[in-house]
Structures are given as structure tokens and as C-alpha cells.
Structure 1
């Protein structure tokens, strides 16, 4: 049986994310939303299966890539670049964490929760102005090399396996 060749850099990235243990889903070309024609049930269909990923990108080579981190992964989503600047000064260890730059200058920082916080993170988390909490097995992130009309997502610090992510700084919990 012949294996299809990768059709896009997004497929190659999706395969790498899946190999690291992240569930992946295709995004509608040029958009942030899941590709409804390929994953009509949205996040419930996120997958690590190489054959599934290949089928999705064979059907739509222009699809972007979304990552659905597990419950142990917290992603700090900075829509406000100034909020990122402030928090990284307070917590320099954040500079070591995998992070993606968004087309509009935002930042996604990937961190690991301590075992006692997995599944329990909620309103107890310190409110951080300009920052949204993502991941936790409940929300997906648009991931590099996805391209939107405003530009492309790029890794400033490459993604690592969930168990290799730096911990969330304790003062943020």
C-alpha cells in the first residue's frame, strides 16, 4: 500500500504535534474555526491518528492546524502584547516556555499544570488583565504554520511534549 505524501506544511506540523501527544484538528482555510466539513463535531473529533490527519489534509491541503491540549496543559493567550511584556518581566521563566506569535502580535505560552491543579483550575486562578486561559482539554489553539488574512502563526520557542513543558509559575495559580 502506498502512503500519500504530505500535502502541506500544516499537515507536517499536525503530524509533529500528534507525535508529541497533542490532539489536532483541521481549521477552515484562512480562518480560526474548525473545518466544519471535515470535523462536523468540532473538538470531539480532534485526533492524534496519523491516517486521520492525512485524510483531512488530503481533502483540504489549505486547512490550518489547531491544537487541543490535554487537561494538564494551560496556555496563556495574550491578545495584548503589553500584557505579555509585563508578565514576562514578573516571571522570566515564561521566556523558556514554548510560545507562538499570532498574526496580530499576540502570544500563546504553553505551560504544564501541577498534578494537584489538573481538572480543578477555575475561578481560583489569578485574573490576569489582557490574558485568556486556553487549553486544559477544553479549548483549542490556532497553531503554526496556520495563515490567516492578517498573517501567519509562528513558533518563537518550539512546542514540546506536554510532560516537557515548564510549570505554571505558582503565583499565577
Structure 2
């Protein structure tokens, strides 16, 4: 059976410390010969809830979508045994303590990382980041403790090709595949978001 070797340390600094280590991280009764199910169990094993998405896509397979996300290994095992090629969804916001800054850098006229910094302030030198299936970039930031229902920022509001996912949203997690494979680019602890980005989220949520 193929083993999952795509682990990434999703480790927010501070009290809420979550680390995704390499390896299956799963239960012994997982039977499908797929890395996706093992990766889903590895996320869950580190306290990060997951839910299945359509194979090759981003649409939820479960009735309630990201609201069905769980860390329960038995349920996750059943989901991926039934759909071994299901992609992996992670809810953003409070459930995972993750805020995702998405940059569709492959789009014509999309903002560059430097232009985003001019808008939201200096980005941390180190934080978890990944490449999406279409060649975009996602940076993960730690959801601030004590904040409730920080809504995301719709695409293009901060700048062309840029959106922010927080409460009420979700991301597609590596090693899922759409047009291409989602891959980790930076294996670093999840850092706190820039203060100006937090201010924009609070304004959006108010």
C-alpha cells in the first residue's frame, strides 16, 4: 500500500499548536490504496477537521459541506473508502484556526505578492504556503484567538485575483488535485496575519 509522504507542519505558533507530521497518521482499517485518504487522516490526527470534496473538483460531497468537517477517524475512513479519490476540504476560521490569503497569480493583471503587501502590510517571512491546482498561491495565517465570525473578503475586493477565506469558508488541501496537484511550498508554522489584513476582515465582518 502506498504511504502518504506529503505531510506538512500546520503548526500555529502560540497556545493553539497543531502540527501535521509525515506518515499515514491514520487508523489501521483504512484500506483504499490512495494517499488522499491517508492525508485526510493525518490532518485529522493533528486536530484539523476535514471533509470530502468531489474527485478532481472543489464541490463538497457531503450534504452540509464544510459544516460536516470532522476529526473523527472512523467517519473520515468511511468517506475515503467510499470515495478514494475525493479531494480534501478544510474549513477556514474557527474550526481550523486558519485564515487563507488566496492569490490567483496565474490570471492576467492579478496582483503580485509585493502589491498585496502594499495593500495589507508586510507579510511574515515564514508561514505555511502552498501552490493550488491552477498555479495560484495560498498563504495560511493563524485565526486570532477570541475573534468570532470573521468573514472572508470576496475576490477582487482587496485587489484583482485576491480573496481571503475565514469564517464560513473552506480551502482545498494538499495533496488534492483539480487542474493540477495542490502542493506545499513552505513548511513553516502558521504565523499571525498582518494587522491591516485583520482590520480589513473586521471591517468586512462588521
Q: TM above 0.5, one fold?
A: yes
Q: TM-score, normalised to structure 1's length?
A: 0.79
- Per-residue CA deviations over 1:138-169 (Å, capped at 9, x if unaligned) read 11101111111x211111124x7xxx521001
- Which of 55, 71, 74 lines up with 2:99 in the alignment? 74
Q: What's 2:165 paired with?
A: 134
Q: What's 2:185 paired with?
A: 156
Q: What's 2:197 paired with?
A: 172
- Which of 52, 61, 64 lines up with 2:87 in the alignment? 64
Q: 1:77·1:131 contact (CA, 8 Å) conserved in 2?
A: yes
Q: 1:135·1:141 contact (CA, 8 Å) conserved in 2?
A: no
User: How far off is 1:59 after superposition?
Assistant: 0.5
- Which of 111, 127, 130 lines up with 2:141 in the alignment? 111
Classify the secondary structure of the residue corresponding to 1:147. Answer: coil
Gaps of at least 5 residues in structure 1 are none
Corresponding position: 1:28 with 2:54: yes
Matched positions, count: 159
Q: 2:152·2:164 contact (CA, 8 Å) conserved in 1?
A: no
Q: Which of the pair is proportionally richer in helix? A: 1
User: How far off is 1:108 after superposition?
Assistant: 1.5
Classify the secondary structure of the residue corresponding to 1:80. Answer: coil
| Greater relative contact order (Cα < 8 A, sep 6+) | 1
Q: 1:7·1:57 contact (CA, 8 Å) conserved in 2?
A: no
| Backbone CA RMSD of aligned residues | 2.5
- Per-residue CA deviations over 1:108-145 (Å, capped at 9, x if unaligned) read 111013335x2153599xx5213211133x11101111
Distance change >3 Å, CA 145–CA 88, structure 1 → 2: farther
